[in-house]
Amino acid sequence: MLFPTVTFALFFFIVLPTSWILMPTRERWKIFMLAASYFFYGYWNWHFVFLLAVSTVVNQLLARTIHATDVERRRRAVLTLTIVFNLGILLYFKYADFFVSSSRDVLDTFGIDAGNSLVNIALPVGISFFTFQALSYVIDVYRRDFEPGSLINFATYLSFFPHVVAGPIVRGSEFMPQIDEPKDPRRIDATRAFFLIFIGLFKKVVIANYLATEIVDQVFASPGRHTPLELLVGVYAYAVQIYADFSGYTDMAIGLALLLGFRFPLNFDSPYTATSIQDFWRRWHMTLSRWLRDYLYIPLGGNRRGDRATYRNLMLTMILGGLWHGAAWTFVIWGAIHGVAQSVEHWRRTVRERRGLPDPPDTAARRWTQRIVTFNIVCLAWIFFRAESIQVAFDYLFRMLNPTEWFQGGSSLVTFGVLLAIFIGIAGQFVPRAFTARLMAGFSRLSPVAMGAVLGVVLMVINTLGPRGVAPFIYFQF
C-alpha cells in the first residue's frame, strides 16, 4: 500500500478518526493500531505478517530475559543469541541468493561447475528497517539504557505503519514512552503535519517519478545508447530522484505519525548542502547513520584506538552499511567509496593537527568548493548504487568520461523539464529554515475553509504535474 494512492487515503481516513476515538481507552487503541498496522504491512504479501510477528515475540522474549538476568555472562550470551537471530533472518531472506551466486562465481573461476540454481527467496518489504529497530531495542535493554515494555507496546512500536516499511529507524526509547502518554487532538501540530505530507507528495510524485521516467531509468538501463551529456545529467538526476523519493517518504511518514499523535526523529537535513562526506552522513538518512554509529562504529572502537583502527572502523561501517542497502557488490563498492572518502578526510585533519596548522579560513568560496566536491563524490558513488551490476556501472563511467563521445549525436533526454526538476531538487535544500517557518506560520493562520482550499489546489497541481501512476518507493526494496 503506497502512501500517494487512493487506497492508502481511504485506509488513513478510517484509521485517523478511529485512533483518536479509541485513544482514551489505551488498551483498545493498542489492539486497533496493531491490527491496522498488520493490515497495512500484509497488504503487499500477507505471508510476511507471520515473520513480523515471530520477530516481535522472539525479540521481546530475549529483551525480557536480558532485563531479568543480573549475571553478565548470561546477559551477554542472550545478547549474542539476539544478534544471531536477527542477522540470521536478514541473511536468509536478503542475502542467501547473493552468497549462493558469489560462491558459484568463485567456483567457476577454478573450473568447478556449480550449476545455475538460486534460492529465489522473496524479500519481505521493510525487513531491514524492522530488524534494525528490534536489534536497537534489545541492545538498549542490555545496556540498561531502556527497560523493556509490554509485548503489545513493543509489537505496536515495531509494526507502526508509518515507519514499518521504510523508516525512519525509530528507537524503542523514542517511541514506546509516547504510547502511554496522554494525547489531546487539539494540541496536534496539524499545520506541520499537512505541510510535511504535501511536501513529501510533491517530492515523490512530481520530482522523483518525473526524473525516473524521463531520464534515469533509460540511461541506467543501457548506458551505451546514450551520449555522455545524457549520462552526466542522468547521474545528477538520480541523485535528486533518490533524495526526493526517500526524503519524500520520510516527510509523509513523519506527518502521518504526527497526525496520530507521535513524533518521529528527523531523517534528512539538506544533505546536498554538505561540505564533506562526514557532514553528508550527518544529514542523509540520519536515523541509519546514528544506528551505524552507536551500534557498529563505536562498539568497534570508533576513533579511540589510533588512526589505523579508525580507518578500519570507518571502512567496515560503511561497507556493512552498503550491504544493508542490498545484496550486491555494487552496494559494497558504494559503501567503500564513502568509507575511503571519510578516511581521507580523517587523515587530512590528523595531518593538520600534528603539524599544528590552523584550520583554513571559513570563506564562502571555500564552502562552495567543498560542497561541489562532496556532491560529486556522492554522485560518483550513486552510479554504483543505481547500476544493476558492476559491469554496467563501469560502462556508464567510461562512456560518460570518454572525451571522443562528448560532441557526437544529440542529447534528447536532456530537456528543460529535467534540468528544472534537478534544479528544484537541489536548490530547495538551500531554502532557509526561517522562510519555511514563516510559510507554515502563515498557513496556520488561515481559516479551515482557506486551508482546505490551499491543500486542494496543491493536490491538484501535484496530480497534474506528476506522471501517471505512482512507482514504489526506492527504499521499499531495502
Half-sphere exposure of residue 434: CA atoms within 13 angstroms, side-chain side: 0
Contact 426, 378 (CB under 8 A): no
Rounded to whole angstroms, the Cα distance separating 58 from 78 reads 11
Active site residue: 47, 325, 338, 346, which one?
Answer: 325
Contact 302, 311 (CB under 8 A): no
CA 92 → CA 35, 114, 166, 304, 327, distances in Å? 27, 20, 20, 34, 11
Max CA-CA distance within the chain?
74
Q: What is the DSSP string of 192-261?
A: HHHHHHHHHHIIIIIIIHHHIIIIIHHHHH-GGGS-HHHHHHHHHHHHHHHHHHHHHHHHHHHHHHHHTT
Q: Is 226 in the active site?
A: no
The sign of the CA dihedral 414, 415, 419, 421 is negative
Q: Which of 214, 345, 253 is nearest to 8 (CA)?
A: 253
Annotated catalytic sites, by residue? 325
